[in-house]
Structure formats: structure tokens, C-alpha cells
Structure 1
Amino acid sequence: MPQSDQKATETYLAFQVIPRVRHGNNFEVVDRAIDVVKAANVPFQVGAMETTMRGELNDLLEIVKQAQQACLDHGAVEVITNIKIHTTTPDASDTFCTYHRGVTPGNSMFVDR
């Protein structure tokens, strides 16, 4: 089957916001971006350097835009946002870069909403 005919089964999006504030604490502004993710009702994982979400690509990109806006709304004078996207097809189950490899119920990486 040609690649354009394959339907994506999972999309993971990892993003990092780097706000710059004139007053206050950058981490408090980053927390507002994380609040947006938590309220978005998608599976997610907050890490030390980025937050990873799972869902439909357009929905995930909208969440990133809202998170960036939350930073601006809470005092950032500028925000750098880095985004990584990983999409798998049904044929990807035997490839190296699948997130489910090594994941057990005891070390599940996402907060499922």
C-alpha cells in the first residue's frame, strides 16, 4: 500500500517552551503551559526538558499554541517553542522507534485522561 494511503494510528508530540520574563520566575510561567496540557484531556508525560502528548496531530498542535499563549499571558516577553513529532502507521509495530517497547503497567509513561 502506498504510504499516502496508510492511516496513522498514533502521533506523539513533544514540546518545550522557553519563556523569557522581565520579572518573576521562568518556572512559574512554564507551569502555566503545563496547566494547559493537563486541562487538554490527552495522555501526557511531563519531563525535565519537555512535555510529551499523544493524540491527533492538529489537536496536539493547538494545545502547543495555547501553552505558548499561556506563557505570554503570564508575563513572558518572548517564548521559544521547540516541537518534535513522531507518527506511526499500523506497519510500524515491528520497527525500532515504537514507544510501547519496554513499557509495562508498572512503568507506563503517560497520564491517561
Structure 2
Amino acid sequence: MAETADARNTVMLAFQVIPRLREGNNFEAVDRAIAVVKASGVPFQAGAMETTMRGELDQLLEIVKRAVKACLEFGAVEVITNIKIHTTTPEAHDTFCTYTRGVTPNKSVFIED
């Protein structure tokens, strides 16, 4: 997968959507939000509490907006969205707080097609 932003402009963005539906299953609305992330092509990791993406900030915020819209289009009457953004500089890569070391068996934090 080709990177869409150079390392100087790359951030980590984690977000959580909490949709409220009058009828139906909230988890199905969350699945719609995750489908938006998958379709975007950015590296991501979907977890039990949030989805983390890597890329250029404006692009990632647009993905979050589309994910919220997908929940609303599914029937949510409201959506709470929590967002965390981690920005680093090249000088930060000697700290404990880097994502380049990997945490999964394949040594990568993200799913990359």
C-alpha cells in the first residue's frame, strides 16, 4: 500500500463512535463506520474500543466525518465521537512512544493490504 503522506506530515489518529439508534443494533452502525475506514485505504487497526489510523491529519479527519455520516445514514439519531491525535517529529523516534517498533506478530501495528 502506498503511503499518502510523507513521514513529517503523518499522524496517528484514534477515534471511537458511539451511535444511538432508536431501533436496531448500535454495533451494526459501528460496523458501517469501520467499513468507511477500510474503504479509505489508509493503514488502520480496529480494536474493541477505538479504531486507529495513520496518515495526513486532514485526510484522517475527513475519514472520521464520513464514518460519523455512515452511522447517521444507518439510522443513528445521534453519534458521540471521541478523537485522539498523536503527532511526532523525527526527533521523537528515540522515545518509548513510537509506533515503528510494531506490536503484532508480523511486527506491524496496522493492517496494510
TM-score band w.r.t. shorter chain: 0.7 to 0.9
Q: Would the aligned equivalents of 1:9 and 1:90 in 2 still touch at CA under 8 Å? A: no
The match for 2:101 is 101
Unaligned runs of 5+ in 2: 1-6
**Cα distance between partner residues in 2 of 1:53 and 1:26:** 22
Q: Would the aligned equivalents of 1:8 and 1:87 in 2 still touch at CA under 8 Å? A: no
Q: Please say which structure displays the higher CA radius of gyration.
A: 1
Normalized against structure 2, the TM-score is what?
0.87
Superposed counterparts of 1:38-53, under 5 Å: 38-53=38-53
**Cα distance between partner residues in 1 of 2:91 and 2:103:** 19
Task: Say yes or no: does 1:37 pair with 2:37.
Answer: yes
How many angstroms does 1:106 deviate by?
2.1
**Cα distance between partner residues in 2 of 1:42 and 1:20:** 27
Task: Say yes or no: does 1:16 pair with 2:16.
Answer: yes
Moved more, 98-107 or 70-79: 98-107
Task: Say yes or no: does 1:75 pair with 2:62.
Answer: no
The match for 2:88 is 88
Q: How many residues align?
A: 107
The match for 1:3 is none
3-state SS of the aligned residue for 2:52? strand
Q: Would the aligned equivalents of 2:19 and 2:78 in 1 still touch at CA under 8 Å? A: yes
RMSD across aligned positions (CA): 1.6
**Cα distance between partner residues in 2 of 1:10 and 1:92:** 13
Normalized against structure 1, the TM-score is what?
0.87
How many angstroms does 1:16 deviate by?
0.1
How many angstroms does 1:9 deviate by?
4.7
Quick one: percent identity of the two aligned structures?
Answer: 73
